[in-house]
């Protein structure tokens, strides 16, 4: 049996017979919960989880049972045991559906999927699941005090997928498969235009158009990078160098200003 994949109170039942009796465990639900809480607040999450498990097993009908289940899930989350935390949060939602912890539990499940997802170059199934859950949370609780946190975490998840697309584009670029590179760059800019990866994608796409002798398509991308403070200083510098190399920046802007100035003079000539 895989003890890590069952809810905490069942895990306690499964191992209780094998564990030595703890003579220091308080005999009242309030005292036991307080002792578990103190361990949790000290950051001793493993020991706290054990006591919350015992509380749920001993006092399943207590008014503190929902609190114990929530903090049991939180204890696993704090230990970065995200798989077990997800199980405990879901048990909480299924068995205490009307309690105040449910929105937080739903958000924590989404966050757990994001936290346990691998680096961008690897499979991002967990990140995609996190995005679905963040969006569902925001649809259900748009006015929740946790909504801003959900939006921030959603942006982090999107950034991770954007980075994966950028990695794919660079891979095809290195293989000189430029059409495939452009496909992923276009997809990134369409799906995640607000991501940080989008700025690098714009730079690569500008390079692509310049190599293809399409400076009119490259020019606006270069200007977007140079003139937006959200782009990194190093990327802005690279965009300026690229523009100078192909006589796009600042030459195009100077030409525009000269034409505008000439037009103004002509309009005011007697």
> pLDDT (tens digit, 9 = 90+) per residue, 233-248?
999 999 999 988 888 8
Q: Is 143 in contact with 99 (CB distance < 8 Å)? A: no
Q: Is 25 in contact with 32 (CB distance < 8 Å)? A: yes
Compute the distance between CA of residue 2 and CA of residue 112 in angstroms, rounded to an integer: 20
pLDDT of residue 98: 79
Nearest 10 degrees: Cα torsion 57, 59, 64, 65: 40
Contacts for 55 with CB less than 8 Å, ≥ 6 apart? 29, 32, 33, 36, 62, 64, 65, 68
Phi-psi label, residue 129: left if phi above 0, alpha if psi -120 to 50, beta otherwise = alpha
| Residue ranges matching CATH 1.25.40.10 in the chain | 1-99
Summary mean pLDDT of the chain: 87
**Half-sphere exposure in the Cβ direction for 34 (13 Å, CA):** 6
> pLDDT (tens digit, 9 = 90+) per residue, 87-109?
999 999 999 887 889 999 999 99
Cis preceding linkage at 250, omega within 30 = yes
pLDDT of residue 27: 79
> Full-prediction pTM beyond 0.75?
yes
Residue that wins the pLDDT comparison between 197 and 5:
197
The residue among 131, 101, 102 whose CA lies nearest residue 114 is 131
Least confident of 7-11, 108-112, 130-134: 7-11
Question: What CATH number is given for 1-99 in this structure?
Answer: 1.25.40.10
**21 DSSP 8-state letter:** P
pLDDT at 19 over 50: no
Taking residues 128-151, what's their average pLDDT?
Answer: 97
Q: Is 76 in contact with 115 (CB distance < 8 Å)? A: no
Phi, psi of 213 (to 5 degrees): 60, 45
């Amino acid at each position: 049996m895989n003890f890590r994949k069952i809810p905490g109170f069942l895990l306690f039942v499964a191992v209780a017979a094998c564990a030595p009796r703890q003579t220091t465990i308080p005999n009242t639900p309030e005292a036991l919960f307080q002792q578990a809480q103190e361990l949790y607040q000290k950051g001793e999450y493993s020991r706290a989880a054990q006591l919350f498990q015992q509380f749920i097993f001993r006092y399943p009908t207590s008014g503190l049972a929902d609190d114990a289940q929530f903090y049991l899930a939180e204890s696993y989350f704090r230990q970065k045991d995200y798989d077990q935390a997800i199980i405990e949060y879901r048990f909480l939602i299924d068995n205490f559906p009307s309690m105040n912890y449910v929105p937080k539990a739903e958000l924590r499940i989404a966050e757990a999927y994001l936290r346990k997802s691998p680096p961008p170059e690897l499979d991002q199934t967990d990140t995609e699941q996190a995005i679905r859950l963040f969006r569902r949370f925001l649809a259900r609780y748009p006015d929740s005090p946790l909504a801003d946190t959900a939006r921030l975490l959603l942006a982090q998840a999107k950034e991770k997928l954007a980075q994966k697309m950028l990695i794919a584009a660079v891979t095809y670029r290195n293989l000189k498969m430029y059409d495939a590179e452009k496909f992923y760059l276009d997809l990134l800019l369409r799906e995640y235009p607000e991501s940080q990866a989008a700025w690098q994608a714009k730079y690569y796409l500008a390079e692509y158009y310049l190599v293809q002798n399409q400076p009119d398509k490259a020019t606006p991308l270069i200007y977007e990078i140079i003139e937006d403070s959200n782009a990194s200083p190093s990327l802005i510098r690279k965009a300026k160098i690229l523009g100078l190399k192909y006589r796009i920046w600042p030459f195009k802007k100077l030409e525009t200003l000269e034409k505008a100035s000439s037009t103004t003079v002509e309009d005011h000539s007697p």
